Amino acid sequence: MKLSHHFIIFITIFAGFWMDKLIWGFDVREYILFADNIPYLIETSIGLLIFCYWVYAMPEKLHSSAALIQGLIIDLCFGNAIGFHMLFFVSISYIIHVYVFRFRIFSYLQLIIFFGIASVFYLACKYLIFFPTNYSYLLLIFSFFVNAAAWLPIYFGMRSFRRKFIK
């Protein structure tokens, strides 16, 4: 695969994490009466889902080294510690590589559930390592539904993007 293709893939992942950051900064509670005191319950993992899509769509072109480097740059730009996204990217990349042909015969619902659980696992580890006092099961449950719902738009959106820009 060309270096420019790696660059395009990284730009989409970076944009995903940037969107996560924007969505996180947009506090919906400010616009709902009496919602000021409830804890913040939704966190998206669009960046991680975009990364998962690329590995799922092109497993033969994205290997451990790509996951490691992309994770390192994301850690530098968005992370709380170097190594967290590296570890997650490499792990999820390995799991997708091993089961990619099994995933291809999965239904959309099964894919939604798998990637929803993967994103919730990512969020749980993130909160347990960096914000243990703010760890909440409610947040994980709400985030599961939000991230699961986000998988299909990301899947179809990124697929059309891939067909247009990476051939």
Partner 1 sequence: MARTTPTYTPFGKYALAMIVSLTLLISDVNYQTFSSTRGSVQATGIYGQLIIDSAASNITKFNVIHKDKKALIKINKDLKNQLSILQNKVFLENKSTVLVSDLLNLQGEMMALSQAQETFIFEIASFGLKNYLCCSSHSLYLKNPQKLKVSANLPVANGNSFIGQTSSTDINLIKVILFSDTDHILPVKINNFFCNAKGAGKPLLISCKAIRNPEFLKIRNNDPVFTSGLGGVFPKNISIGRVININNSISNESKVTIALDASPLESNYFGVLVNL
Q: Which residues bind partner 1 (CB under 8 A)?
A: 24-25, 27, 39-40, 59-60, 63-65, 67-68, 71, 75-77, 79-84, 86-87, 90-91, 93-94, 97-98, 101, 104, 129-134
* Least gap, CB of 17 to partner 1 (angstroms): 12
Measured CA to CA in angstroms, residue 132 lies from 79, 109, 126, 159 at distances of: 16, 31, 9, 36
Q: Which two tokens stand for residue 107?
A: 């239904």
- The interaxial angle of helices 3-25 and 137-165, nearest 10 deg, is 150
Q: Of the two residues 87 and 113, which places its CB atom closer to partner 1 in the complex?
A: 87
Q: Quick one: DSSP state of residue 135?
A: -
Q: Of the two residues 88 and 151, which places its CB atom closer to partner 1 in the complex?
A: 88
* Least gap, CB of 99 to partner 1 (angstroms): 10
Q: Of the two residues 64 and 110, which places its CB atom closer to partner 1 in the complex?
A: 64
Q: Of the two residues 93 and 119, which places its CB atom closer to partner 1 in the complex?
A: 93
Q: Of the two residues 50 and 74, which places its CB atom closer to partner 1 in the complex?
A: 74
Element (H, E) at 124: helix 108-130
* Least gap, CB of 60 to partner 1 (angstroms): 5
- Find out whether 130 and 93 touch, Cβ atoms under 8 Å: no
Q: Quick one: DSSP state of residue 42?
A: -
* Least gap, CB of 25 to partner 1 (angstroms): 6
Region of 152 on the Ramachandran plot (φ > 0 left; ψ -120 to 50 alpha; else beta):
alpha
Q: Which two tokens stand for residue 63?
A: 């290997």
* Least gap, CB of 134 to partner 1 (angstroms): 5
